[in-house]
Amino acid sequence: MDVERIRRDFPIFNRKFHGHPLAYLDSAASSQKPTVVIEAEREFYEQRNANVHRGVYGLSEEATDAYEKARERVARFLHARDPQEIVFVRGTTEALNVVASGLGQTRLREGGRVVTTVMEHHSNIVPWHMLRERAGIDLRFIDIDDDGRLRLDGYDDALDGSAKVVTLSHVSNVLGTVNPVREVADRAHDSGALVVVDAAQSAPHRPLDVEALGADFVAFSGHKTLAPMGIGVLWGRAELLRELPPYMGGGEMIRSVHTDRVDYADPPARFEAGTPNVAGACALSVALDYLERVGWDDMAAHEHQLLERAFRLAAERFDGTIRIYGPPLSEPHDAVLSFSVQGVHPHDVATILDREGLAIRSGHHCAQPLMNRLNVPALNRASVYLYNTAEEIDRLFGALEKVNKVFAA
Amino acid sequence: MAYDMYQERILQHYRTPKNFGKLDHPDFSGEESNPLCGDRIRFELKLDPSKSTVAEVRFSGEGCAISMASASMLTQKLAGQPLAAVEKISRDDVLQLVAIPLSPVRVKCALTGFTALGRAIHGAPASADPAQA
């Protein structure tokens, strides 16, 4: 994999901050975009812009065709049986809200148990809390061990033979832990529960196989997978999508509307009220093509090498003042490195790193229950993607030495 | 800008904050947290017998260098002051006290202690359970 060539595909790497070339180590928050994706968005508006599924004129047909081809492309990425199982939404957050809200009117209407994990992003906690408030569901959290692995020894107790939904992240946005989704799903199904998978952090790094995962619903965001902001995907098993009530009402999601009643369209249209982000869907399709051309395995190997370098530098050069959170690299661990610097608040770390042209995330990472579990107010997180380089990792640790120097007593 | 922010004056207050800790029976206490960064600062004040002048002040909690240093500097300004003068302290006074260039996000950090102080003197009297902090 030729990283220098890949970097030339991303115009943003021409930018400098405080006189340093941008070292972007926050792709877990949002990835940068290659020219082909930016051009795809532009091409739609320059050549194909019209509303979809409405006009009978040629331009609208082209727009509709492009949108539905994007749906097919995403179905291939997810190894879904049928493109009609792909719902375009704004992002993972909306996808999870569609599922939680829908189940809240069906299987969870009278309450019932929902099992999640303490490592979830708020987008996979808050919609369920809203159901707790609205429908009185009983929300249970699976704990983690001190290295950030799910503690499945407590899982059967949490399921209790009566759980209706199990919802978990495929990969933790803070710890990098790759969760054993298949095992969790099999045990959930044995106990009669549906399985919802937040794939926001895994989709950028590997093609997903919804069947192999054993999931019933899968959500991911375009903007973390090189695509624009405002486009994302909910996949659901056809029969489950059919039983789900709509999330928003409006045009496009109906079969017929009368003054005394409304008949809803079948999925996916039922969940796509209003004018969708067609340009975003086309650009997502192009982003997935781009990632496939780079090669998923090469990309994963590259990212793993960068993490290995980071772990090694942290251990060798910092005399125990840098603490890394999450499982060791000998175990499944994706693309993120969360750490604390002894005696220095993460925001101070990130401010000094910014001065060196390094963009990392600092804060609670939308995972406050996890911060509480780890007993930290906040953490630093560097995340890597296909375009990051070994030199950027070296710059990161060089800058962390400056942090220690600034704060040394 | 980062290095202007982390001047020795600021770092001194961060490493060895003034008036850090708690009071036994404060007349006023207030807390502010910044959920974005997980910072949490509590201010406690004790008045003199006339109940018009600040006799003692302490702050506690955890935060970044900017929020901790700012709170520490603020406590130095309070002891011996008439309560009426403390009530008049403005956010600009605090930013002048801190006197470092701050981005909009970090201005919030510099004002965390000030907001806790405001809660203490304008909000409810000291909570019965200081251990909560």
Q: Which of A251, A274, A291 is the last residue of a domain?
A: A291
Same domain, A283 and A303: no
Same domain, A333 and A309: yes
Q: Would the pLDDT of A118 be above 50?
A: yes
Residues of B in contact with A376 (CB under 8 A): 38
Residues of B in contact with A352 (CB under 8 A): 2-3, 6
Output the six-digit token pair for A299. 């990309």
DSSP A29: T
Quote the distance between the C-alpha of residue B74 and its chain's center: 5
Same domain, A17 and A63: no
Q: What is the domain extent for residue B42?
A: 2-126
Query: Could you report the predicted ipTM of this complex, rounded to two decimals?
Result: 0.84
Same domain, A150 and A108: yes
Mean pLDDT, chain B, as a whole number? 88
pLDDT in tens, A119-154: 999 999 999 999 999 999 999 999 999 999 999 999
Give this prediction's pTM.
Answer: 0.93
Same domain, A42 and A27: no
Q: Would the pLDDT of B125 be above 80?
A: no
Kindly report the CATH number assigned to the domain that includes residue A235: 3.40.640.10
Q: Would the pLDDT of B103 be above 90?
A: no
Output the six-digit token pair for A309. 């370098």
Q: Which amino acid is at A284?
A: L
Same domain, A191 and A92: yes
Same domain, A86 and A181: yes
Kindly report the CATH number assigned to the domain that includes residue B92: 3.90.1010.10
Mean pLDDT, chain A, as a whole number? 96
Structure confidence at residue B127 as a pLDDT band (50, 70, 90): very low
**Cα-flanking dihedrals φ and ψ of residue A172, to 5°?**
-75, 135
Quote the distance between the C-alpha of residue A114 and its chain's center: 21
C-alpha–C-alpha distance, residues A196 and A209, integer Å: 14
Cα dist from B3 to A84, A143, A352, whole Å: 55, 40, 7
pLDDT in tens, A76-106: 999 999 999 999 999 999 999 999 999 999 9
- Nearest CB to B62 within list A344, A364, A377: A377
Percent of chain B with pLDDT over 90: 77
pLDDT of residue B131: 40
Residue range B11-29: average pLDDT? 95
Q: Which of residues 327-366 of A touch B (CB under 8 A)?
A: 344-348, 351-352, 354-355, 362-364
Strand segments, DSSP code E, in A184-251 are: 194-198, 217-221, 232-236
Same domain, A303 and A359: yes
Instruction: Decide if B62 is inside a domain.
Output: yes
Instruction: Decide if B46 is inside a domain.
Output: yes
Tell me how many domains chain B contains. Answer: 1
The set of residues, in sequence order, having a beta carbon less than 8 Å from that of A127 and lying 6+ positions away, is A96, A97, A99, A100, A101
Residue scoring higher pLDDT (B80 or A167): A167
Same domain, A123 and A272: yes
Tell me how many domains chain A contains. Answer: 2
Dihedral sign, CA of A273, A275, A278, A281? negative
Structure confidence at residue B2 as a pLDDT band (50, 70, 90): low
Q: Would the pLDDT of A265 be above 60?
A: yes
Q: Would the pLDDT of B132 be above 60?
A: no
Q: What is the domain extent for residue A249?
A: 38-291
Residue range A310-327: average pLDDT? 95
- Nearest CB to A409 within list B15, B36, B38: B15
Question: Measuring CA to CA, which residue among A401, A396, A404 is closest to residue A310?
Answer: A396
Catalytic one of A366, A379, A384, A403 = A366
Kindly report the CATH number assigned to the domain that includes residue A18: 3.90.1150.10
CB B28 within 8 A of CB B120: yes
